[in-house]
Structure 1
């Protein structure tokens, strides 16, 4: 995909990875980038076009799709963690909300914008996933499950949107230096690095991005014994 001249929509583009993706797209000549967020006033980059959207609210998704009929590149980035729900204790409702945001939110937004992408010639759809799609965490099983479900959804979208010519890209990375991982004591990569790898994938029509060594080692371990997934270092 040639990024120059494209019109993109990024969910959760007011900070972290979403903001970095917006900057990277504009730096490469994107014509317009919608920042689809629950609170449009939090979008501080004047080059972005704020747009109200809560990915768990079908009404705001439909309204945003009515406004953004020119979108040719959709990036599902909005996400929620569920660190408050440990494996054997904690509030399961927190995990349910995480699934609602990360899995059903991505599904709902993709459904709403798939016809718009088709009308524009196919375009591309990017899902910002995680190494947690494959690497389960005892301390946050709800988050890992939501990302595993989101990965499965990405694969289904790749099949379902192929006939309309839409490139579907899944982006996997380990811990990123954002608010979501602020309490994690582990090596982290920068959000700009995630954005750069994503831009390269789009420009090369690649369908999967493995940003860092952690995600690459974890992906490779899927072909080995299941116990090996728990022995991978950051």
Structure 2
């Protein structure tokens, strides 16, 4: 799809990769961007330019009422970017309880599912596109982020199913795989880290090219992905040595 004059909605637009998505969409001539966050006061820096194409939207992706309200208000969307994410960075056994694991699934799996279901009828009018921000941990399990890895694996499976279901209405569905990125969330993982701009640029280029598949975003991700494709058992075995830190 073409980004110029498109109408986008970006979840988790207040910081990190989401904020860079907003900036790059504006540079590419998007017609409007709904910048969504749980707390719209956190969008002050995003909105400070005064660009009239930016529309603040309160949205907690785990709240069904807010999801429905967003689909009602933003009924002209042609590009849905499911970027909001949550990571506890703990082990499946070492975590004190299941609360973080449940939240990871709510935000990283049920959030994109709910948003895509809500906006599918809107996107059906124009074909449009859905972008789901995933992770290389969709493919590789990391014990120090065990339940996050599981939520992203679920997200990848969901993305592939959505691609099949939405094909009949002409909706492009992209899943973005990236390694650790220079964001508040990614800072908890080891260096070197990708720049958010590299992830966003590769994603938007793929979107405009018409790719309807997973996007391996960033040179560092492509190197890890190539190693995984060549010998998945070896790469997974290496990741299994990265255990949660015992306090």
TM-score by length of 1: 0.93
Counterpart in the other structure of 2:191: 186
1:101 and 2:107 aligned: yes
> Matches of 2:133 and 2:209 in 1, distance apart?
17
> Matches of 2:237 and 2:18 in 1, distance apart?
29
> Matches of 2:69 and 2:18 in 1, distance apart?
21
> Matches of 1:60 and 1:114 in 2, distance apart?
16
1:226 and 2:207 aligned: no
Counterpart in the other structure of 1:10: 10
Contact conserved, 1:135 with 1:230, CA < 8 A, in 2? no
> Matches of 2:146 and 2:221 in 1, distance apart?
18
> Matches of 2:175 and 2:190 in 1, distance apart?
25
> Matches of 1:218 and 1:151 in 2, distance apart?
17
| Residue number among 59, 65, 73 corresponding to 2:71 in the alignment | 65
Where does structure 1 lack aligned partners over 5 or more consecutive residues? none
Q: Which moved more, 1:135-144 or 1:219-228?
A: 219-228
**RMSD after superposition:** 1.5
TM-fit CA distance, 1:219: 3.5
Pair 1:225–1:73, CA change in 2 (3 A): closer
Counterpart in the other structure of 1:75: 81
Counterpart in the other structure of 2:210: 205
Equivalent position SS for 1:14: coil
TM-score by length of 2: 0.88
What are the Cα deviations for residues 178-214 of structure 1, in whole angstroms up to 9, with x where unaligned? 0102232321011111111111011101122111344
> Matches of 1:6 and 1:210 in 2, distance apart?
23
Counterpart in the other structure of 1:34: 34
Contact conserved, 2:202 with 2:218, CA < 8 A, in 1? no
Equivalent position SS for 1:25: helix
Q: Which moved more, 1:132-141 or 1:149-158?
A: 132-141
Aligned length: 230
Equivalent position SS for 1:45: helix
Contact conserved, 1:8 with 1:34, CA < 8 A, in 2? yes
TM-fit CA distance, 1:116: 0.4
Counterpart in the other structure of 1:45: 46
Q: Which moved more, 1:24-33 or 1:220-229?
A: 220-229
> Matches of 2:204 and 2:135 in 1, distance apart?
17
Counterpart in the other structure of 1:149: 154
> Matches of 1:201 and 1:146 in 2, distance apart?
24
Equivalent position SS for 1:188: coil
Contact conserved, 1:173 with 1:212, CA < 8 A, in 2? yes
